[in-house]
Amino acid sequence: MKQSKALLVTAAVALAIAGCRQADDSSNAAANGANSSENASIETLPPSEDAAPPAATNDTANEAVPAAAIPAAFQGRWGMVPGDCTSTRGDNKGLITVDSDSIKFYESRATLAKVTMNAPENFTGDFNFSGEGQTWTKSQNLKLTGSSNTLIRSETGPAASYTYKRC
């Protein structure tokens, strides 16, 4: 099985090289006014679906930007009650911190795995959670209201909704 995969990869590379040569030969033939039937019979393969797309770049900083990110409007510190935003004793159990790729809770963290909806003031994604020695996956919907100063976080399985105010 491994030999057949190696042969397949070798054949694909050879065809890709032939395709590149075909383009060079075609442009040379067109420039010279010649037409070659040999070049017309070479079939090129479509791009591989397994190849990852190139990472998006930020033109101003020339750094890679995550392909899937929580929009900036949702990012920041959010509290269920005013004390969550001001506590210095570590008892702010209703505080969440949203950044570009995660949500941090009092005793857990959710890392964005996949964006399923990204609309103005409404974001849904699948998150990988970890905390208290456990891991799980859950969809989260984030909705902004009240001039973007109120965040409603909803989830399913079981259904629940939580309201936060921007700190």
Claim to verify: residue 33 and residue 89 sit in the same structural domain: no
Query: For residue 157, what pLDDT is reported?
Result: 81
Sites in the chain below the pLDDT cut of 70: 1-67
Q: Is residue 67 part of a domain?
A: no
Residue 115 lies in a domain: yes
87 and 146 housed in the same domain? yes
Task: State whether 134 and 85 are in the same domain.
Answer: yes
pLDDT tens per residue across span 101-119: 999 999 999 999 999 999 9
What's the Cα-to-Cα distance from 137 to each of 16, 99, 109, 112, 131, rounded to whole Å?
Answer: 40, 18, 11, 10, 12
Instruction: Tell me which residue range forms the domain holding 17.
Output: 2-51
Query: How far is the CA of 90 from the CAs of 15, 86, 120, 136, in angstroms?
Result: 62, 10, 33, 25
Q: Are residues 101 and 38 in the same domain?
A: no
| Structural domain count of the chain | 2
Examine the domain organization and report whether 46 and 80 are in the same domain.
no
- The predicted pLDDT at position 160 comes to 96
- In the prediction, which pLDDT does 130 show? 97
Q: Does 157 lie in the same domain as 98?
A: yes
User: Are 100 and 153 members of one domain?
Assistant: yes
pTM given for the model: 0.59
User: Do the domain assignments include residue 42?
Assistant: yes
